[in-house]
């Protein structure tokens, strides 16, 4: 098959795909922007990223973060890849090790301070942003 025919077929496939996508979006009365917003918000990482950001910038307290993160992680039903799970599980373990009476510099393998928790959550957020 000549290069011209291959190029024509590729363009036709592209156009047909675009038309099908537009028809589906029209049928469900969505714009492409709305569709992308739904897809992004529905991703498993989205809710964790927002929770972590709120904790890092101190919009929520450590107690609220601890409660909400443990509840969210334990009740997770969305499928996620292993890399994301590994990062989120690391945060879960850090939250589990957090102890409100532990002071910076007194951390052990089983107890960490709020400062150390914030550091570990910040590192996890960087990792999540790198894989997306």
**Span 41-80, pLDDT tens digits:** 457 788 899 999 999 999 999 999 999 999 999 999 888 8
For the chain, give the number of residues.
Answer: 132
Span 43-132 CATH architecture: Up-down Bundle (1.20)
Dist. CA 37–CA 55, nearest whole Å: 23
Dist. CA 89–CA 44, nearest whole Å: 13
Give yes or no for residue 16 having a pLDDT over 90: no
More confident residue, 53 or 24: 53
- pLDDT tens for each residue of 82-107: 999 999 999 999 999 999 999 999 99
pLDDT band at 13, cuts 50/70/90? confident
Dist. CA 132–CA 127, nearest whole Å: 9
CA 45 to chain centre: 1
Tokens 């890849």: give the residue: 81
Share of the chain above pLDDT 90, in %: 56
pTM equals 0.68
């Amino acid at each position: 098959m000549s290069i011209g025919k291959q190029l024509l077929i590729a363009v036709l496939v592209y156009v047909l795909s675009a038309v099908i996508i537009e028809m589906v979006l029209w049928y469900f009365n969505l714009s492409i922007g709305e569709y992308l917003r739904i897809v992004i918000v529905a991703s498993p990482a989205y809710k964790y990223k927002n929770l972590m950001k709120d904790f890092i910038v101190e919009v929520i307290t450590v107690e609220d973060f601890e409660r909400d993160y443990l509840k969210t992680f334990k009740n997770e039903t969305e499928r996620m890849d292993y890399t994301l799970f590994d990062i989120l599980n690391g945060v879960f373990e850090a939250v589990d090790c957090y102890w409100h009476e532990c002071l910076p510099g007194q951390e052990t393998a089983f107890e960490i301070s709020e400062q150390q928790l914030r550091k570990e959550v910040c590192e996890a957020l960087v990792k999540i942003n790198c894989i997306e």
